[in-house]
Amino acid sequence: MNPVVERIETALKSAEASLTSAESAAQVEEVRISMLGRKGLFATLTKDMGSATPEERREIGRAFNEGKQRLQDLLAQAEERIKGSGSGEKALDVTLPGRCGAMGHRHPITQMIEDCVAIFRRMGFIVADGPEIETVRHNFDALNAAADHPSREMTDTFYFADGRLLRSQTSTVQIRTMDAVKPPIRIVAPGRCFRRDTPDATHSMNFHQIEGLYVDKNVSMADLKSVLQIFAWELFGKDVRIRLRPHFFPFTEPSVEYDFSCVVCGGKGCNVCKHSGWLEIAGAGMVNPNVFRNVGIDPEEWSGYAFGMGIERLTMLRHRISDIRNLYENDVRFLSQFN
| Contact set with ligand DAH (CB under 6 A) | 169, 171, 211, 249, 251-252, 283-285, 306-308
The DSSP 8-state label assigned to residue 170 in this structure reads T
Cβ of residue 269: shortest distance to ligand DAH, in angstroms?
Answer: 26
CB-nearer residue toward ligand DAH: 169 or 315: 169
Cβ count within 10 A of residue 246: 9
Cβ of residue 252: shortest distance to ligand DAH, in angstroms?
Answer: 4
Query: Which residues lie closer than 8 Å to 73 by C-beta, 6 or more apart?
Result: none
CB-nearer residue toward ligand DAH: 190 or 285: 285
CB-nearer residue toward ligand DAH: 108 or 191: 191
Residue count (the chain): 339
CB-nearer residue toward ligand DAH: 183 or 283: 283
Output helix, strand, coil percentages for the chain, rounded to the nearest 5: 45, 20, 35
**Cα–Cα nearest to 113, from 211, 196, 15:** 211
Cβ of residue 165: shortest distance to ligand DAH, in angstroms?
Answer: 14
Rounded CA-CA distance 315/320 in Å is: 8
Cβ of residue 331: shortest distance to ligand DAH, in angstroms?
Answer: 28
The b/e string for 265-281 (b: 16+ C-beta within 10 A; e otherwise) is: eebeeeeebeeebbbbb
Cβ of residue 172: shortest distance to ligand DAH, in angstroms?
Answer: 9
**Cα–Cα nearest to 308, from 213, 196, 225:** 213
Cβ of residue 218: shortest distance to ligand DAH, in angstroms?
Answer: 19
Cβ of residue 257: shortest distance to ligand DAH, in angstroms?
Answer: 8
* Strand 206-216 with 133-134, pairing: unpaired
Cβ of residue 163: shortest distance to ligand DAH, in angstroms?
Answer: 21
Rounded CA-CA distance 69/332 in Å is: 47
CB-nearer residue toward ligand DAH: 31 or 286: 286
CB-nearer residue toward ligand DAH: 18 or 206: 206
CB-nearer residue toward ligand DAH: 278 or 307: 307
End-to-end CA distance of the chain: 60
Indicate the residue type of 93.
D
What does each C-alpha distance from 273 to 25, 79, 205, 326 come to in angstroms? Answer: 61, 58, 24, 20
Rounded CA-CA distance 133/167 in Å is: 6
CB-nearer residue toward ligand DAH: 64 or 140: 140
